[in-house]
Amino acid sequence: MRLSEESRSLALETGVQLHAEGSCLVRLGNTHVLCSASLEDRVPEWMRGRGKGWITSEYGMLPRATHTRSAREAAKGRQQGRTVEIQRLIGRSLRQAVDLAALGEVQLTLDCDVVNADGGTRCASITGAWVALALALKARGLERALINQVAAVSVGILEGCPGLRQGLILDLEYEEDHRAAVDCNLVASLPTGGASELSVVEFQSTGEGRSFSRTEATALLDLGLKGCAALMEAQRKAVALG
Amino acid sequence: MRLSEESRSLALETGVQLHAEGSCLVRLGNTHVLCSASLEDRVPEWMRGRGKGWITSEYGMLPRATHTRSAREAAKGRQQGRTVEIQRLIGRSLRQAVDLAALGEVQLTLDCDVVNADGGTRCASITGAWVALALALKARGLERALINQVAAVSVGILEGCPGLRQGLILDLEYEEDHRAAVDCNLVASLPTGGASELSVVEFQSTGEGRSFSRTEATALLDLGLKGCAALMEAQRKAVALG
Amino acid sequence: MRLSEESRSLALETGVQLHAEGSCLVRLGNTHVLCSASLEDRVPEWMRGRGKGWITSEYGMLPRATHTRSAREAAKGRQQGRTVEIQRLIGRSLRQAVDLAALGEVQLTLDCDVVNADGGTRCASITGAWVALALALKARGLERALINQVAAVSVGILEGCPGLRQGLILDLEYEEDHRAAVDCNLVASLPTGGASELSVVEFQSTGEGRSFSRTEATALLDLGLKGCAALMEAQRKAVALG
Amino acid sequence: MRLSEESRSLALETGVQLHAEGSCLVRLGNTHVLCSASLEDRVPEWMRGRGKGWITSEYGMLPRATHTRSAREAAKGRQQGRTVEIQRLIGRSLRQAVDLAALGEVQLTLDCDVVNADGGTRCASITGAWVALALALKARGLERALINQVAAVSVGILEGCPGLRQGLILDLEYEEDHRAAVDCNLVASLPTGGASELSVVEFQSTGEGRSFSRTEATALLDLGLKGCAALMEAQRKAVALG
Amino acid sequence: MRLSEESRSLALETGVQLHAEGSCLVRLGNTHVLCSASLEDRVPEWMRGRGKGWITSEYGMLPRATHTRSAREAAKGRQQGRTVEIQRLIGRSLRQAVDLAALGEVQLTLDCDVVNADGGTRCASITGAWVALALALKARGLERALINQVAAVSVGILEGCPGLRQGLILDLEYEEDHRAAVDCNLVASLPTGGASELSVVEFQSTGEGRSFSRTEATALLDLGLKGCAALMEAQRKAVALG
Amino acid sequence: MRLSEESRSLALETGVQLHAEGSCLVRLGNTHVLCSASLEDRVPEWMRGRGKGWITSEYGMLPRATHTRSAREAAKGRQQGRTVEIQRLIGRSLRQAVDLAALGEVQLTLDCDVVNADGGTRCASITGAWVALALALKARGLERALINQVAAVSVGILEGCPGLRQGLILDLEYEEDHRAAVDCNLVASLPTGGASELSVVEFQSTGEGRSFSRTEATALLDLGLKGCAALMEAQRKAVALG
């Protein structure tokens, strides 16, 4: 088991979906997610005529992304609650990356499909979807609409691990996540314009086995911000904004 | 518009669903939620034979709880993502209230149905569901399994309101929630055993219009904890543990 | 057990759903139904351009309205046959209350949600929905479209009860309904214009344990008409047409 | 247009579904329904171990049974409210034909599929389903369980037709049904044991365009009973109980 | 068991669905299918404005068409894979019968509902649907659009039957189909204009128990073409093109 | 446009899904499919107790596998007819590869998810699924159950291409498939035991724009068999049976 305050190794391979305006295969340790950004020149009906764009997301798992095969949601005829919750989070997070008014009446759909799952799939999806989104905007000459960089990481408290400072751990693998007493996801943003400090887009912290103190909450937040800063460097290289 | 660091007036009426083991109508300003706790002597299949209990929740809105009528989910044939997300949060939060091993193989289902919606329905549901849960456990002589008191409140940042300290506002009405730049839900717990400090069960903070700083995050958390402490007093009176 | 030719005590509380154009909580003994009338300035597509209005209804039960918890229809993803049958009856009955041409292109949706069920929920729904409907029409200055008062009551034959004349019983509780040999629902109407006799909107009579004679059928009808007359007095007070 | 107190011509052809324990093609004027009775040696789970049988029904329309093609319910993925209401009525009515205890743990499913629709399909279904049911019981040596003959007919009030006594009309065609002010379905039964009077299994009367008086209700009931008596003669011939 | 290279006896009864533009009850041995053609003066949205027509098909089985009762697809809420596959085949095959441009913006829906199933229902459906289609086009004066005659037959290899040349068998009954090592469906067409050779519209050959050689494939194809030629004679008589 | 009787370049990358018993990413030109084989020690209920195994398949497309984004089937809540048809074909084809009795009560599920679609996805899925299946059997010491090698290829007739002999073309790209007059899929098998001739598992040939002759049918079959032989060489290398 990796015990540290660093995230797992990250690889971002672009151009993997040939038809997509932008795509990226994220490999974060053994968590692999295929992200694509599809750009269409129309927005949902409830947004028409406002001159603004929209960003939405859909998330899925290949049936054998997991240790044992999971039922295919298309075959079951409905998406699980967990799926819906995750795709709402991805959509909400990535809307912070873009000036929707600068997009014009354009919709971007971010599809995140998990090929291999080993913890942190929603955070890896956000990190990869930002790359796909940035590439799609470039491909269509819409870079000016990209106002923030967005990345996400998980962070938690693992009890009974002497090697961890206050039990804090960044970027949990499946086994670690399973045993964690407190489990958080942090989505952070950074203006694309230049040097600046990261701020918080979304911070979700949940006591799984126990509740946690105000002090622990802030320590988790701080570690997550540090983790996101590192992921953002890799993102910039992948889209050659670096 | 109320601009303050106090929550709206809270009334907790018990016994409103005649057949339920425990029930409570929460009125938090113009947000009214009917909460019931149903106790069954069997657990879901995946939990059988472990000697432990389970707590789950379902959430719904009456079609005319809202300004304009919303489609009935039973008629549409599927629950919205928002509904599923909320009922997962309620279930997760209330499981922190109970020692599941002390319950035995018993399932408690917490139904929260919104009669009138004016912001903060998920938090009001958690606060009311705890009362229904506590009454159901009393009615069946299972008080020993109730180890924590759990309540929830929303908190946010409203910009352009000179009356607010740093824009902070507790327990947002629908209109306030709609205009908020940052929007949080805090679920807190307190051991039933005696005097102690509140701790965090779940803290969900989302930048709606903008991201927010680490300093703002901790100020929001602090205001939420203060708000939950006040709600817990009312809960104790309602179940006469006070 | 009440054995009589009178209905249970009736209370009609109005204004319970804050956003609805009209609303009413019916309490008929231990049967409690929340009724609301939602008025929208558009009709279903198949009715457009005819200058006429439309009235429809949806019916539901809170999961713990019943002795043991029932599955939530929204969660199961489909409405039961019983639900569909009841809401079709409510809609059909209340359309008799209104001159649809005098409404203009307006749709009224009558939502009836059962909070506590102890027999007769469909009849209580109709009685309460009429109050909500009348209030909604008043609130929008459309009283002229309200041409009939409509109320409903159940009536049946209970065998082996010496206190009952020919076994006849009005407004059956759940236990009585369960044991009844013949089970009827009567919807009656009375012109709003002035003194007149009640007439029949719908009479549904079903032999549950045995078939019944022509004589029994007419006795059931007569008792039901008498019962509806009493309910209509309470309705008039509630909407202050009295 | 036929204006009379007699039903349309009735033909009952048996044995049309080769695999069914009993089957009957009913032709009532231009309304044609294919009825089959399927007998299985098991009852629904909730009835097991009681030593009693069960009777249920399913109803459908071929897409081109109607003037213009209707959507196939299997393709739409859900049965309409009208379908569910009708199949509940058929099942309830035919359960009155049988002594369920004398059946043993046997389930009979009555499928009624409309080939051509010209009004009165639910009544024709009941009349034909009784024939299929009787044949299936004979085929399996279970005649003793058949205690009542059951048939059904529609009856209504048509205004503005001088040829009709009080506007009364039996067995309405589609066009008549469409114009009727009052619309009823009567299901009647007669003990198989010998001469006796018909009694009522179900009487559903609905004011479509106007409400109706107590006097009209009884006249409708009387005409319906007379109509059912004639249909029962044809049924007896078809199953050779004559 | 019939062992031969001839198909079962074929009867084509027309006009069985009174409202349909064309209809035909096919009886091929104990396989009976009710086929109707419904003509509407509009095409699906994706085809509008091109001046061309469209042909589609829906297939179903009455629940008791089979040895034991099958669940009704409308009640289950979804069509089986087999159903979808068959109706796609029927639609595709019959589109070869018609010059869609000569139709104008007209849609023909071919409904095929199996009354009795004894093998070969998809082929019997195609053969009967062509008759219904031809009659509908005649009824509307669109014969010029009918450019090909289309019929279908099953063919297979049955092992261990000394009476069969190379095991080849035409038009398999259910029991034969069940035991077949190789199972094929052949759809053939013939120009309506005059004498000509049959050609292949669709040839689907599947090794059920074993794979098969190139030589067997061509023998199967030849036998199927011979079988279709005979069926086409009967079709021509039924529509009086003969 | 490639005009030839050779298939596109084929690459088979194994081990791409970390948790699967066997997996393979097929790249056939710009058609890329991720195939996995999941082995479970239980069979579907209807097969239990027979001591035999079962093989089934599910097929899906990532939303942006296509030129424009397709709706996600999990979000729509049902699989399309095309999807169901394809996964039935894959399952049927791969069951020919295995001696189900030698498997024991084991189920293999073959998931084929299309990452990039450029024609021939069902054939590429079969070719790749065989590799995943063979690897899974090896990983569990069940090689003896693998009795046949199975591969598939598309073949068609393209009119107006002077470079093509009789218009014949192997392994059609999307654009070619779209323009083809005749469109076939051939699944072939070869015993694993040693040198032998390919035989046919399934041959589906469809006239899209026109029907075709017996001579064309056999030429298509011959070209397809030649194409499958080449694909099988690549399969053997990938699983090192070579």
Q: What is the pLDDT of residues B128-170, one digit of tens each?
A: 999 999 999 999 999 999 999 999 999 999 988 877 888 999 9
* Tens-digit pLDDT profile for residues A2-51: 556 888 999 999 999 999 999 999 999 999 999 999 999 999 988 899 99
Question: What pLDDT does residue D130 have?
Answer: 98
Q: Which residue has the higher pLDDT, F2 or D217?
A: D217
Question: What pLDDT does residue C58 have?
Answer: 96
Residue A122 labelled as part of a binding site: yes
Q: Residues D87, E83: contact at Cβ < 8 Å?
A: no
* Tens-digit pLDDT profile for residues E192-227: 977 678 999 999 999 988 999 999 999 999 999 999
ipTM passes above 0.90? yes
What strands lie across the sheet with E22-28, from one edge to the other?
Answer: E10-14, E22-28, E31-40, E107-116, E54-61
Residue B1: strand, helix, or coil = coil
- Residue F70 CB coordination number (10 Å): 16
For chains B and C, CB pairs below 8 A equal 99
What strands lie across the sheet with C54-61, from one edge to the other?
Answer: C10-14, C22-28, C31-40, C107-116, C54-61
CA pair distance E50, E43, nearest whole angstrom: 10
CA distances from E199 to E193, E229, F210 (A): 14, 10, 9
CA pair distance B23, B35, nearest whole angstrom: 6
* Tens-digit pLDDT profile for residues E4-61: 688 899 999 999 999 999 999 999 999 999 999 999 999 998 889 999 999 999 999 9
Q: Which residue of E has its CA nearest to D79?
A: E74
Distance of CA F21 to the CA centre of its chain: 19
Question: What pLDDT does residue E80 have?
Answer: 86
pLDDT band at residue C194 using 50, 70 and 90 as cut-offs:
confident
- Asked if the model's pLDDT at residue A163 lies above 80, the reply is no
List residues of C whose CB lies inside 8 A of any D CB.
78, 81-82, 84-85, 87-88, 92, 96, 148, 188-189, 197, 199-207, 211-214, 217-218, 221-222, 225
- Residue A197 CB coordination number (10 Å): 11
Question: What pLDDT does residue C162 have?
Answer: 77
| H or E element that contains B81 | helix B81-95
Q: Which of C67, C75, C77 lies closest to B19 in CB terms? A: C67
Q: Residues D122, D90: contact at Cβ < 8 Å?
A: yes
DSSP chain A: ---SSSPPPEEEEE--STTSSEEEEEEETTEEEEEEEEEES---GGGTTSS--EEEEEEEE-GGGSSSPPPPHHHHTS--HHHHHHHHHHHHHHHTTB-HHHH-S-EEEEEEEEEE-SS-HHHHHHHHHHHHHHHHHHHTT-GGGB-EEEEEEEEEE-TT-TTSGGGEEES--HHHHHH-SEEEEEEEEEETTSS---EEEEEEEEESSS-B-HHHHHHHHHHHHHHHHHHHHHHHHHTT--
Amino acid at A17: Q
Question: What pLDDT does residue A85 have?
Answer: 93
List residues of E whose CB lies inside 8 A of any F CB.
78, 81, 84-85, 87-88, 92, 96, 148, 188-189, 197, 199-207, 211-214, 217-218, 221-222, 225
Bridge partners, residue E14, by sequence:
E24
Half-sphere exposure of C182 (CA within 13 A, CB side): 30
- Choice among D189-193, D199-203, E36-40, E109-113 with the minimum mean pLDDT: D189-193
F91's CB contacts (< 8 A; 6+ apart) are F55, F56, F57, F110
Structure tokens belonging to residue E101: 């441009």
pLDDT band at residue D242 using 50, 70 and 90 as cut-offs:
very low
Q: Which residue has the higher pLDDT, B22 or A45?
A: B22
Q: Three-class SS string for E174-234?
A: HHHHHHCCEEEEEEEEEECCCCCCCEEEEEEEEECCCCECHHHHHHHHHHHHHHHHHHHHH
Q: Residues B65, B117: contact at Cβ < 8 Å?
A: yes
Cβ of C40 within 8 Å of Cβ of B68? The answer is yes
Mutate: best of D122, D198, D203, D216, partner C, most C CBs <10 A: D203
| H or E element that contains F225 | helix F214-238
Q: Give the mean pLDDT of F140-166.
A: 91
DSSP E16-54: -STTSSEEEEEEETTEEEEEEEEEES---GGGTTSS--E
- Choice among A118-122, C18-22, F4-8, F196-200 with the minimum mean pLDDT: F4-8
Structure tokens belonging to residue E46: 């994706």
A121-139 and A214-238 helices cross at what angle (nearest 10)?
40
CA pair distance E221, E214, nearest whole angstrom: 11
Cβ of D38 within 8 Å of Cβ of E62? The answer is no
pLDDT band at residue D208 using 50, 70 and 90 as cut-offs:
confident
Q: Residues C154, C86: contact at Cβ < 8 Å?
A: no
- Asked if the model's pLDDT at residue B195 lies above 70, the reply is no
What are the chain D neighbours of C213 within 8 Å (beta carbons)?
197, 199-200
Distance of CA E118 to the CA centre of its chain: 14
Pairing of the two strands C148-157 and C182-191: antiparallel
Q: Give the mean pLDDT of E66-74.
A: 92
- Asked if the model's pLDDT at residue F4 lies above 70, the reply is no
Q: Give the mean pLDDT of B170-180.
A: 94
List residues of A whose CB lies inside 8 A of any B CB.
78, 81-82, 84-85, 87-88, 92, 96, 148, 188-189, 197, 199-207, 211-214, 217-218, 221-222, 225
Bridge partners, residue D206, by sequence:
C202, D183
Structure tokens belonging to residue B56: 């789950």
CA dihedral A71, A77, A83, A88 (to 10 degrees): 160
- Asked if the model's pLDDT at residue D14 lies above 90, the reply is yes
**For the whole model, what pTM was predicted?**
0.89
- Asked if the model's pLDDT at residue D17 lies above 90, the reply is yes
Residue F18: strand, helix, or coil = coil
Residue E141: strand, helix, or coil = coil
- Asked if the model's pLDDT at residue F98 lies above 90, the reply is yes
Question: What pLDDT does residue A79 have?
Answer: 85
First-to-last C-alpha distance (Å) of chain A: 32
Rg (CA), chain F: 18
What are the chain C neighbours of D201 within 8 Å (beta carbons)?
206-207, 211
- Asked if the model's pLDDT at residue D77 lies above 90, the reply is no
Mutate: best of D23, D35, D69, D78, partner E, most E CBs <10 A: D69
CA pair distance F193, E160, nearest whole angstrom: 26
Q: Residues F10, F234: contact at Cβ < 8 Å?
A: yes
Structure tokens belonging to residue F75: 């979000």
Structure tokens belonging to residue D7: 């039903």
Question: Which of A81, A129, A72, A136 lies closest to A107, judged by CA?
Answer: A136
- Choice among E167-181, F65-79, F202-216 with the minimum mean pLDDT: F65-79
Question: What pLDDT does residue D2 have?
Answer: 55
DSSP D93-153: HHHTTB-HHHH-S-EEEEEEEEEE-SS-HHHHHHHHHHHHHHHHHHHTT-GGGB-EEEEEE
Question: Which of C116, C115, C120 lies closest to C169, judged by CA?
Answer: C120
DSSP D61-90: E-GGGSSSPPPPHHHHTS--HHHHHHHHHH
Query: Rounded to 5 degrees, what are φ and ψ at A240?
Result: 55, 45
Q: Give the mean pLDDT of A217-233.
A: 95
Average pLDDT over chain D, rounded to whole? 93
Bridge partners, residue B156, by sequence:
B169, B183
B81-95 and A81-95 helices cross at what angle (nearest 10)?
110
pLDDT band at residue F226 using 50, 70 and 90 as cut-offs:
very high
Give residue for tokens 């040198």: F195
What are the chain F neighbours of A30 within 8 Å (beta carbons)?
18
Percent of chain D with pLDDT over 70: 97
Average pLDDT over chain F, rounded to whole? 93
* Tens-digit pLDDT profile for residues B48-79: 999 999 999 999 999 999 999 999 988 888 88
Residue E78: strand, helix, or coil = coil
Cβ of B200 within 8 Å of Cβ of A189? The answer is no
Percent of chain C with pLDDT over 70: 97
pLDDT band at residue A161 using 50, 70 and 90 as cut-offs:
confident
- Asked if the model's pLDDT at residue E1 lies above 80, the reply is no
- Residue D11 CB coordination number (10 Å): 12
Question: What pLDDT does residue B162 have?
Answer: 77
Helices (H), E34-120: 73-76, 81-95, 100-103
Amino acid at C141: G
List residues of A whose CB lies inside 8 A of any F CB.
16-20, 23, 30, 34, 36, 38, 40, 58, 60, 62-69, 72-75, 77-79, 83, 109, 111, 113, 115-116, 118
Mutate: best of C30, C39, C64, partner B, most B CBs <10 A: C64
Amino acid at F93: S
CA pair distance E200, E225, nearest whole angstrom: 8
* Tens-digit pLDDT profile for residues A183-194: 999 999 999 977
List residues of D whose CB lies inside 8 A of any C CB.
78, 81-82, 84-85, 87-88, 92, 96, 148, 188-189, 197, 199-207, 211-214, 217-218, 221-222, 225
Q: Give the mean pLDDT of D165-181.
A: 92
CA distances from F182 to E146, E217, F156, F208, F223 (A): 21, 18, 5, 5, 14
Residue C164: strand, helix, or coil = coil
Q: Residues B186, B152: contact at Cβ < 8 Å?
A: yes
Question: What pLDDT does residue E70 have?
Answer: 94
pLDDT band at residue F1 using 50, 70 and 90 as cut-offs:
very low
